[in-house]
Structure 1
Amino acid sequence: MAKQQSTATQILRTSIYTFLQQFQFFTSTPAFLAFPFSASVLLSQAAAPAAATETLFNRLQSLCQAAGFPPSSQFFTILNLKLAQTIAASIYTIPFSLTFFLFAKSSAFASLKNRAFNQPDHSSPPESVSSIFWPLLLTHITNSFLVISANASAFCVMFLSFNVFERVFPTSPVFLLLLSAVGALVYSVILANVIVICNLAAVISAMEKRGGYMAVLKAAVMMQGRASTALSLALPVNLGMAGIEALFQYRIVIGRYWVYETTPWSRSLTVGLESMLICYMYSMFVVLDAIVGCFFFKSIRDEIVAKKCGLVGEELEMGIGYYASWKVDGDDDDKREVP
């Protein structure tokens, strides 16, 4: 566990260093490409019609009651409300997530592959954004179906658990609360592992131009024994995004400070400038998430190559023997050591 935490810390430090080293590029092209997606995500949470969210919430509540979930459980009420909000926001952001979001990530992946993953002599031709976009699009669609399947599987597990334990143990508020807490934990673990696999699959599709289910399967294989590292890497970025979403809600949606502005023109200017700044901050976290995913993939790749070459002990821990042209399913003759 300590070694995995150390690896996660090294990857975060390397990602931040790369982001700062190429600050001018990452804060211009990828960030501005991700800006419409960031604005759609932040605005969808505030501007999504309440009627659509309420309709989805009622449908989910009816589905839970038909499945036999206890109607008095606060866990399922909160879960259904959050799912309804997420589904409504996702529907409104689909056009932006399939275009601007993927183009921003493709731009970041192309830059990292050209500058950090190629040979020192730059013998490989530079990658273009369009060549990465299409495998990434196919993987993104596959990831969406995987997330939907994971949610359905989690609900099936909770449905079986609640119905089995209800038959065996007497129903009581304490037992219901305990079972709801266990259900929330199981649901969170399933969804978190699926999300980190989807993120790694997106990186694999960009680095190896292998989109669709093959990238997802390869990501699931590479994730074995490294789930805690992936979760440790995803936590800071997701916390940063959640903090920016909360800042947008507090400063823009609630906006109690607007009453102190003297004229409507000054209020509009303040709201517009702060909205663009917050959306731009969210875009930079989207780019940083792509950088962290790339270096996590690189660490897994180098670790597997080092093990294949028999590097153990201090050599493996220090990362000696990196092979930039290696692929997981490649031949041993294609490996070349980077000095």
Structure 2
Amino acid sequence: MAITTLNIIRTSIFTLLKNFQFFSSSPSLVAVPFALAALLAPSLAPSSRLFSLIHAHVTSLTLSAGVSRYSSQLSVALDYKLTQIILSSLLVSPFALSFLVVSKSIVIRALQFSRPSRKNSPISWIVELKPLLITHLCNSLLVVSIHAVFFYFSVASFEFFRILGFSSIGARVFLGLGLAVAYVVVIANLHVVCGISLVISATERRGGFGGIVEAFVLTRQWMATALSLSVATNTALVAIEALFEYRVVRGYQHGTGPDPWMNLEAILVAYLYAVLVVLDTVVGYVFLKRCKEEYNNRHDDLCSCSCSCSFSYSFLIEIYEGNEKCLELKGLELML
């Protein structure tokens, strides 16, 4: 069966709805604290005491890199956004290493059975969290490394253009757009590989960078499909974040005080976010399963094709002495 985006999304939604009673209870409820942290972190980060400290370090870094020479407004916006992303990631990381990892472990372990049920206690899944936790830490190190490398590559590109004499506004805008497109492509591919590596670690019970390499090898032939799946799930998550920002954060900012109904609405929106996280895990599992099936089918076809390429030929050797035949050899040889 061909690996298509529509087919995988349809299969994933069918799997989620078929076992909705299970997926909407244990894994979704476990992921609610992570969802609340992920939704609240961007709005709480600027008011944190660490924000000014991290912002000062980021500003000094961009000044030393020479970003302010090209655009002061761009430098200020970049400093603020980088500080917000770094602090938000730090605030969410404890919840991601605990609640998110447990939720993904429950979902992936349940998908390995034909009929997930409540008889499978979450305690049995928590015992096997070590590979998933190690892979998540490796993914975090990889993400930080890629961001750092891309940042210095961007600065080096601007400096290289300046040395060549392309210092006009049009050249800088062109280079900035090219770097933005490259950043989006790299981060999207990185997000796909990291997500699939978590599924591999949970299914094969081994963590570390080996799962990341295996995820890259398995998905490189179907990276376009993986990117379209990532865009679909991330678009849904961004829509939930926008709903939370509009309904809850704006209500707290413009309201007179905490409202019980607003708190309940925040929990409901976080629960929807958690259900989408569960669906994203199901999509990753189904995609990995299809990739393995397609990879094995191609390998089997290649082996059968190489084995079927054998041929045979017969031979006849006659030796004469004078006019009389003294020896005759007949045979059949196989050539592989």
**Who is 2:179 aligned against?**
183
Residues 130-279 of structure 1 aligned to structure 2 (within 5 Å): 130-255=126-251, 268-279=259-270
> Please, which moves more after superposition, 52-61 or 213-222?
52-61
**Who is 1:37 aligned against?**
34
Contact 1:26-1:287 within 8 A present in 2 as well: yes
Give yes or no for the alignment of 1:65 onto 2:63.
yes
- CA deviation after TM superposition for structure 1 residue 189, in Å: 1.4
Structure-2 separation of matches of 1:275 and 1:256:
11
**Who is 2:105 aligned against?**
106
**What is the CA deviation profile of residues 242-286 of structure 1, one whole-angstrom value per residue up to 9, with x for unaligned ones?**
111111111111118975x9xx7xx62111110110110110011
Query: Which secondary structure does the structure 2 equivalent of 1:223 belong to?
Result: helix
**Structure 1 segments (4+ residues) deviating >6 Å:** none
Query: Which secondary structure does the structure 1 equivalent of 2:129 belong to?
Result: helix
Query: What amino acid sits opposite 1:139 in the alignment?
Result: T
Structure-2 separation of matches of 1:290 and 1:75:
36
**Who is 1:27 aligned against?**
24
Structure-2 separation of matches of 1:174 and 1:65:
22
Contact 1:154-1:190 within 8 A present in 2 as well: no
Query: What amino acid sits opposite 2:66 in the alignment?
Result: G
**What is the CA deviation profile of residues 72-112 of structure 1, one whole-angstrom value per residue up to 9, with x for unaligned ones?**
43555444432211211111122211111110110001100
Residues 289 and 181 of structure 1: CA distance in aligned 2, closer, same or farther (over 3 Å): same
Contact 2:188-2:230 within 8 A present in 1 as well: no
Residues 201 and 79 of structure 1: CA distance in aligned 2, closer, same or farther (over 3 Å): farther
Structure-1 separation of matches of 2:234 and 2:270:
15
**Who is 1:299 aligned against?**
290
**Who is 1:7 aligned against?**
4
Structure number having the greater strand percentage: 2
Query: Which secondary structure does the structure 2 equivalent of 1:114 belong to?
Result: coil
Residues 148 and 258 of structure 1: CA distance in aligned 2, closer, same or farther (over 3 Å): closer
Query: What amino acid sits opposite 1:63 in the alignment?
Result: L
TM-score, with structure 1 as normaliser? 0.81
Residues 86 and 188 of structure 1: CA distance in aligned 2, closer, same or farther (over 3 Å): same
Contact 1:222-1:300 within 8 A present in 2 as well: yes
Residues 45 and 54 of structure 1: CA distance in aligned 2, closer, same or farther (over 3 Å): same
Query: Which secondary structure does the structure 2 equivalent of 1:115 belong to?
Result: coil
Contact 1:241-1:282 within 8 A present in 2 as well: yes
Query: What amino acid sits opposite 2:35 in the alignment?
Result: S
The aligned length equals: 296
Residues 184 and 58 of structure 1: CA distance in aligned 2, closer, same or farther (over 3 Å): farther
Structure-2 separation of matches of 1:70 and 1:24:
54
- CA deviation after TM superposition for structure 1 residue 175, in Å: 1.5
Residues 8 and 75 of structure 1: CA distance in aligned 2, closer, same or farther (over 3 Å): farther
**Who is 1:331 aligned against?**
none
Residues 256 and 30 of structure 1: CA distance in aligned 2, closer, same or farther (over 3 Å): closer
**Who is 1:315 aligned against?**
none
- CA deviation after TM superposition for structure 1 residue 296, in Å: 0.7
Query: What amino acid sits opposite 1:53 in the alignment?
Result: F
TM-score, with structure 2 as normaliser? 0.81
Structure-1 separation of matches of 2:266 and 2:164:
53
RMSD: 2.6
Task: Flag structure 2 segments of 5+ consecutive residues without an equivalent.
Answer: 117-121, 303-336
**What is the CA deviation profile of residues 185-231 of structure 1, one whole-angstrom value per residue up to 9, with x for unaligned ones?**
11111111111111110010011111011101111211222221111
Structure-2 separation of matches of 1:151 and 1:42:
22
**What is the CA deviation profile of residues 279-325 of structure 1, one whole-angstrom value per residue up to 9, with x for unaligned ones?**
101100110110000011001100011112218xxxxxxxxxxxxxx
Q: Which has the larger radius of gyration?
A: 2
